[in-house]
Amino acid sequence: MSHNNAIQQQYERLGICKEVYAFGAKTEEKLKARFDALDRVTECNQLKVLRAMQQAKVSAECFQATNGYGYNDLGRDTLEAVYAACFCAEDALVRPQITCGTHALALALLSNLRPGDELLSPVGKPYDTLESVIGIRPAKGSLAEYGIAYRQVDLLPDGSFDYEKIRAAVTKRTKLATIQRSKGYATRPTLSVARIGELVAFLKSVKPDIICMVDNCYGEFVEEKEPLEVGADLIVGSLIKNPGGGLAPIGGYLAGKKECVENAAYRLTSPGLGKEVGASLGVIQSFYQGLFLAPTVVNAALKGAIFAANIYETLGFDVLPNGSEDRHDIIQAVTFHNPNAMIAFCKGIQAAAPVDSYVTPEPWAMPGYDSEGGGRLCTGPLHRTERRRANQAAARGLFPGRSDLAPCKIRNFNVAAKTL
């Protein structure tokens, strides 16, 4: 039996018919040149992480668990030096006490803004969960409750920056501009590092002392450069996403100007304590391992997203980004226009997962979101083969039997799904 036949046989045992397998294999073959280009970016980023770990003198002692106050936690302090070097930052805060990306962003905003200041979003509506943090959606402890104002300038219809309105929106009170790199659940394009650099340069030309913060979630290690390298003052992200490499069980990070990071540290712990406390609690080794593997895992996620875009675009679905666009984050949106199709897609993904493949996902009102979600893929990003099977299984779930190869678009209901 040939190698290809053996692989196909394994797919058939997992419920993927020959036609769907051939469809996927043909799509993947067309993407080899793009995948080769991604591999070159990954090699650059992998060398960057390796060099940072060597410079910080990471040792086996850094993997030891600590508890209590966490004074003189070698692993924690060394990891923060590694992050600072990786992202070209003056300082970094990397902690398991930061529970998620929203927490990290709230920490950055609440620590660097004061009553009477103004926050500006020059890239339109922020991520869903930030609406409560800012006070767009009333919530206890929001920026609005602390007397911090908010302004927003939407992108132009073609996705470009509305520089005239941004200039007019910057006032003497404007202390910080928040720039969301990824489109998240929106339909706007994700911002490249180069475009972020152009926006930061413009904001600094209008108000030189403005703090430019970038929500870097889903964008780390996608390009060869990070936002701090093009002028941003602070980047914020989650270890549950790209930099955790699928291994970090919790955590978030901030990296950038020393003053901004110190402000966040004092907010996270206490005035007078800052970065000096906060034990690593037995998860520090997974933080190191996850970061080291992150460029490779992000590479696999990008390949899976591009593969999915090409699959569903061929089947007649609206996808964003489309199958040929450059990538600046790992998010892939597929629009189904029908809630039942969306649910069928999620069931297909769940059935192909290594964890809880036997359960049926149900829509659930997730905290902080207006849309419903639910189900579990796995504890971290799926690798390439698993994602390909997941996408093929989802296609089969949407279009049973031979019709799984037929282009189809169901209208009248607009739902976007993020797939890895």
Residues 6+ apart with CB under 8 A from 358: none
Residue closest to 184 by CA, chosen among 270, 230, 123, 231: 123
Name the residue with tokens 């998860």: 283
The rounded distance, in Å, linking the Cα atoms of 346 and 416 is 12
What tokens does 292 get? Answer: 């080291």
pLDDT at position 232 is 98
Q: Say what angle helices 101-112 and 258-268 make with each other, to 10 degrees.
A: 110
Question: For the chain, how long is the longest CA-to-CA vector?
Answer: 72
**Helix (H) or strand (E) run with residue 349 in it:** helix 339-351
Q: How far is 83 from 98, CA to CA, in rounded Å?
A: 15
Token pair, residue 204, equals: 């600094």
The alpha-helical segments, DSSP class H, found in 18-169 are 18-30, 32-55, 74-86, 101-112, 130-134, 163-169
For residues 56-76, one letter each, b for 16 or more C-beta atoms within 10 angstroms of the residue's C-beta and e for the rest, the string is: bebeeebbeebeeebeebbbb
Please enumerate in sequence order all residues whose Cβ is within 8 A of that of 59, keeping only pairs 6 or more positions apart, or say none.
78
How far apart, in whole angstroms, are the C-alpha atoms of residue 177 and residue 211?
6
What does the buried/exposed string (b/e) look like for 257-281 if buried means 16 or more CB atoms within 10 Å of the residue's CB?
Answer: beebbbbbbebbbeeeebbebbbbb
Structural tokens at position 125: 């509506």
* Region 3-44+292-419: CATH code: 3.90.1150.60
Name the residue ranges covered by the structural domains of the chain. 3-44+292-419, 62-288
Q: Which helix (H) or strand (E) holds 332?
A: strand 332-335
Rounded Cα distance between 239 and 210, Å, is: 27
Q: Which parts of 80-233 are beta strand (E)? A: 91-95, 118-121, 149-152, 174-180, 211-215
Q: What is the DSSP letter of 319?
A: E
Amino acid identity, residue 294?
A: A
Q: Across the strands, what pairs with 252? A: 95, 238
pLDDT of residue 186: 83
Q: Please say whether the dihedral angle defined by the alpha carbons of residues 181, 183, 188 and 192, taken in this order, is positive or negative.
A: positive
pTM: 0.88
Pairing of strands 364-365, 211-215: unpaired
Is 62-288 in the same CATH topology as 3-44+292-419?
A: no
In tens digits, the chain (420 residues) has pLDDT values of: 677 789 989 999 988 899 999 999 999 999 999 999 999 999 999 999 999 999 999 999 999 999 999 999 999 999 999 999 999 999 999 999 999 999 999 999 999 999 999 999 999 999 999 999 999 999 999 999 999 999 999 999 999 999 999 999 999 999 999 999 999 878 889 999 999 999 999 999 999 999 999 999 999 999 999 999 999 999 999 999 999 999 999 999 999 999 999 999 999 999 999 999 999 999 999 999 999 999 999 999 999 999 999 999 999 999 999 999 999 999 999 998 888 888 898 898 898 889 999 999 888 777 776 665 544 444 334 444 444 455 555 554 443 332 222 223 222 333 333 333
Q: Which residues contact 164 (CB under 8 A, 6 or more apart)?
A: none
CATH class for the region spanning 62-288: alpha beta
Cα(120)–Cα(171) distance, integer angstroms: 10
β-pairing verdict for 234-238 and 416-419: unpaired
Backbone angles phi, psi at 237, to 5 degrees: -160, 180
In angstroms, rounded to a whole number, what is the distance separating the alpha carbons of residues 368 and 126? 13
pLDDT at 398: 43
Cβ proximity of 329 and 190 under 8 Å: yes
Q: What are the backbone angles phi and psi of residue 337, rounded to the nearest 5°?
A: 65, 15
